[in-house]
Amino acid sequence: MSPSFPLQSDEPATVGLIGFGAFGQLVARHMTPHVQVLAYDNRNSLEDTAQTLGVRLTDLTTVAHCRIIILAIPVQAMADVLTHIAPLLRPDALVLDVGSVKVKPTELMLRLLPPTVGIIGTHPLFGPQSAGQTTTGLKIVLCPVRGPYHRLAAFLRKTLGLRVLICTPEKHDQDMAVTQALTHWLAQSLKTLEPFPSHLTTRSFDLMRDAMKMVEKDAPQVFETIECLNPYASSMRKHYLDLLSSLDKKLDTLTPA
Residues ≥6 apart with Cβ < 8 Å to 49: 20, 25
Applying CB under 8 A, which of residues 141, 145, 152, 222 lies at the interface with a copy of itself? Answer: 141
Site size toward a copy of itself (CB under 8 A) is 62
Q: Of the two residues 126 and 148, which places its CB atom closer to a copy of itself in the complex?
A: 126
- Does 178 participate in binding a copy of itself (rule CB under 8 A)? yes
- Does 109 participate in binding a copy of itself (rule CB under 8 A)? no
Residue type, 62: T
Residue-by-residue DSSP string for 79-120: HHHHHHHGGGS-TT-EEEE--S--HHHHHHHHHHS-TTSEEE
Q: How far apart are CA 126 and CA 112, in angstroms?
A: 28
Q: Of the two residues 20 and 185, which places its CB atom closer to a copy of itself in the complex?
A: 185
Give Cα separations from 222 to 98, 227, 233 (angstroms). 12, 9, 14
Identify the bridge partners of residue 96 per DSSP, sorted by sequence position: 70, 120
Q: To the nearest whole angstrom, how small is the minimum distance from the Cβ of residue 45 to a copy of itself?
A: 29
Q: How far apart are CA 6 and CA 74, in angstroms?
A: 26
Q: How far apart are CA 227 and CA 83, in angstroms?
A: 25
Q: To the nearest whole angstrom, how small is the minimum distance from the Cβ of residue 256 to a copy of itself?
A: 7
Q: To the nearest whole angstrom, how small is the minimum distance from the Cβ of residue 3 to a copy of itself?
A: 25
| Segment lying near a copy of itself (by CB under 8 A), choices 14-22, 27-35, 148-156, 196-204 | 196-204
Residues 230-249 that bind a copy of itself (CB under 8 A): 233-234, 237-241, 243-245, 247-248
Total count of residues recorded for the chain = 257
Residues that bind a copy of itself (CB under 8 A): 125-126, 130, 139, 141, 165, 167, 171-172, 175-176, 178-180, 182-190, 192-193, 196-197, 199-205, 207-208, 210-212, 214-215, 224, 227-229, 233-234, 237-241, 243-245, 247-248, 251-252, 254-256
